[in-house]
Amino acid sequence: MSQKTTKTWCLRLLPVLLFFISFATYYFSYAILRSYGNTSKPLNSSKLVCGGWLTQKKWESLNFNISRQTQLFLKMGDFLWREHMPKLALPYGIKDSEPLLLKVLAETVDYQLPADIENLECRTCVVIGNGFVIKNSSLGSIINKYDMVIRLNDAPVRGYEKDVGDKTTMRFFYPESASYNPGLHNEPGTLMVLVPFKQQDLRWLKEILYNEKRVRKGFWKLPPQIWLGDVSKIRVLDPHFLHQTADKLLQIPLHPKGKQNPVHPTTGILAVFVALNYCDVVHVAGFGYPNSKNQRQPIHYYGYDTMKSMKNSYHDLNHEAEALKRLEDSGAILYLHPHL
């Protein structure tokens, strides 16, 4: 066989070889994670999962052209003059929202994560999406072993512990997705992280904090008028993260032209981007929507909503799925379950 022929065959076999390497890597990692289901050993202590992650190289491989930021929440001392803050209005900046923020931040006096997480040399984090794909997964015991478990909106935990676990470190929400009693599906120490998409969101929180008359206008769905959350556990997410998720990760226009409807990141893809900034290991579960042609397929592991309910959504779900695929292919995130 000539050298030219040998080279041609090598080139033909290369895609097959790369496929098997990727396949073996995924299932090797998945087997490691599964092994934690039968042990009480903390996930963070595993050199296989944490020590070999090479955090900085993973971050650099994403080509975001920005630096990681580990201060997640707005605080009184610096939000007015931080250089990175874009001169944009919500949801991507704080322009024109300063008075509301001053009132809110005066009551939410703590801006940190718990010290036992802040002081970790390597933080293992899992972001739990609300997708139907996590149903009957039996991942609950694995999920509970991560240092940080991030959940979204009002997704329930009670009654679903076998699949989704019952540990919650942070829960991202906005007024329309808030539960009137966070204690029902969260631990006492769970941080309730408000993602402000509009000024009305901050106004809602201010009215709750100061027990003022509620203004009901400006919401696509009426938020709770009574909120029983622990004020000391409230945080306000820095709009920097939503801005960078839209601009760098999804590359969607921040200023739609003409009559084009605005497209904003979902809280799910936002939470993944936040985790990539703060955590050393980022795994995900419960992400993925059914095919848009299947209008009757449930979209959540709870409730009865279908793809039909997403018809007028301000999100581009296909675009987000492609972004998650790029993150997975780069090794920045790992799914805890097989997925499409």
The CATH code of the domain at 40-335 is 3.90.1480.20
Report the pLDDT value the prediction gives residue 218, as an integer from 0 to 100.
94
Report the pLDDT value the prediction gives residue 232, as an integer from 0 to 100.
93
**What is the helix (H) or strand (E) element at residue 192, kind and residue range?**
strand 191-194
What is the value of pTM for the model shown? 0.85
Looking up tokens 């039968």 gives 38
Report the pLDDT value the prediction gives residue 152, as an integer from 0 to 100.
98
pLDDT tens per residue, the chain (340 residues)? 555 555 454 455 544 444 444 444 444 444 445 444 444 444 444 445 565 555 667 787 788 888 889 999 999 876 666 655 558 899 999 999 999 999 999 998 888 899 999 999 899 999 999 999 999 999 999 999 999 999 999 999 999 999 999 999 999 999 999 999 999 999 999 999 999 999 999 999 999 999 999 999 999 999 999 999 999 999 999 999 999 999 999 999 887 666 567 789 999 999 999 999 999 999 999 998 776 666 778 899 998 888 766 666 677 888 999 999 999 999 899 999 988 7
Report the pLDDT value the prediction gives residue 216, as an integer from 0 to 100.
92
Domain residue ranges in the chain: 40-335
Report the pLDDT value the prediction gives residue 36, as an integer from 0 to 100.
47
Rounded distance, CA 224 to CA 308, Å? 25
- Beta bridge partner(s), residue 170: 150, 191
Q: Residues in the chain, how many?
A: 340
The contacts of residue 152 (CB under 8 Å, 6+ apart) are: 127, 128, 129, 130, 171, 172, 173, 177, 267, 268, 271
